[in-house]
Amino acid sequence: MDLLNALVAFANFVFVPAVAYGAQLALGALGVTLIYGILRFSNFAHGDTMAFGAMCTILVTWGLQSWGISAGPLPTALLALPVGIAVTALFLMATDRAVYRFYRKTRAAPVILTMASLGVMFVMNGIVRFIIGVEDINFADGARFLIGAREFREATGLDEGLAIRSTQAITVVVAAVAMALLFWFLNRTRTGKSMRAFADNEDLALLSGINPGRVVMVTWLIVAALATTAGVLYGLDKSFKAFTYFQLLLPIFASAVVGGLGSPIGAVAGGFVIAFSEVGVTYAWKKVAGYVMPENLQPDGLAQLLSTDYKIAVSFAILVLVLLFRPTGLFRGKSV
């Protein structure tokens, strides 16, 4: 019984939140890794792209709500998501036209494109704050819980409750669908294959008749879809705040690097590695330990390795370790 309680406590406080957070990071890291592999630069504006996409989606959500349209038990934001993606895609393509294309044409070094993306980041950040403000915005509606803690306790008779918020379940399902679509696209379709070819060897891809303009456009479209979805899921799960997305940049890059920059499957794996490390290191294990350890061995304190205020340090530490010992990441991306 104690063991079961320990497991449930673990699932409730570590596993479920980490899976949801990992799925969000994975979607973010997929965008970063695609840009790195195909357009060949580290896009610092990615966090704010997620904020921008989430903002567009929230605005549409409010519009839908004011017309009395809802998705029943699901959050209305899911209905608004396609519009958010479309607007973000247009914005990204315009940014490419205005900024990145020039540097691509002149075959500028990747670091120059990265610096340009830093500029884009500040502009996007400003736009988001200007339009929607800096306050916390909670836009999740529909059912709150898939499984409530009390129902769970009553149904199982355990002391510990397991709560799964509907936003967590939705995060996982939507992320899984998005990833499945992406991998199908990259591996099965002609356009997806030509994108892989372009990432592999640009010169040869051009020589094989692959149109670079098209590859770039499709890349931004996919990046817009991934970033907006990631931003909306994160916002549903926690809340929307313009600044938090900027702070997500570090765990997202850490995920992409851990998995191997340029490797989509690596980005997914990396997202979960970072999420589990972050949640695991900042969780107070006292409760779990209380169930499984004998009385005299139980920790006096909270058994928390790091206060949640320092959770960003976890990504940073993992990033440094990976760069030191395995710069190509788990799945042998391009070395950084």
Partner 1 sequence: MLTVENLHRYFGSFRAVNGASLTIEKGSITGLIGPNGAGKSTLFNVIAGRLAPTSGRVTMDGQDITGLPPHELFHRGLLRTFQIAHEFGSMTVRENLMMVPARQAGESLVNTWFRRGAIRAEERALREKADEVLDFLTISHIADEKASNISGGQKKLVELGRTMMVDAKIVFLDEVGAGVNRTLLNTIGDAITRLNRERGYTFCVIEHDMDFIGRLCDPVIVMAAGEVLAHGSADQIMQNEAVIEAYLGTGLKNKVAHV
List Cβ neighbours of 303 (8 Å cut-off, separation of 6 or more).
Answer: 284, 285, 286, 289
CB of 328 to partner 1, least distance (A): 13
- Which residue's structure tokens are 């139980």? 298
Taking the chain, what is the end-to-end CA distance rounded to the nearest angstrom?
A: 48
- Least Å distance between CB 191 and partner 1? 7
Residue 34 CB, nearest distance to partner 1 (Å)? 15
User: Which residue, 138 or 208, has its beta carbon nearer to partner 1?
Assistant: 208
- Judged by CB, which is closer to partner 1: 210, or 288? 210
Q: Cα separation of 34 and 39, whole Å?
A: 8
- Tokens standing for residue 255: 């995920």
Give Cα 183 to chain centroid, integer Å: 16
Query: Minimum CB separation from partner 1 for residue 289, in Å?
Result: 45
Q: Kindly report the number of other CB atoms within 10 A of residue 197's CB atom.
A: 16
Cβ closest to partner 1, residue 49 vs residue 194: 194
Which residue, 191 or 307, has its beta carbon nearer to partner 1?
191
How many Cβ atoms sit within 10 Å of the Cβ of residue 192?
A: 17
Q: Which is nearer to partner 1, 256 or 319 (CB)?
A: 256
Work out how close the CB of 71 gets to partner 1 at its nearest, in angstroms, rounded to a whole number.
25
For residues 106 and 156, give the distance between their C-alpha atoms in angstroms, rounded to a whole number: 65
Q: What values do phi and psi take at 31, rounded to 5?
A: -60, -45
Least separation in angstroms between residue 225's CB and partner 1 is 12
From 24, 83, 35, select the one nearest 230 (Cα to Cα).
24
Closest CB to partner 1 among residues 211, 298: 211
Whole-angstrom distance, CA of residue 173 vs CA of residue 170: 5
Q: Which of 127, 3, 100 is CA-nearest to residue 43? A: 100
Instruction: Name which of 188 and 296 has its Cβ closer to partner 1.
Output: 188
The residue ranges that bind partner 1 (CB under 8 A) are: 189-191, 193-194, 196-197, 200-201, 203-212
Beta carbon of residue 266, minimum distance to partner 1 (angstroms, whole number)? 13
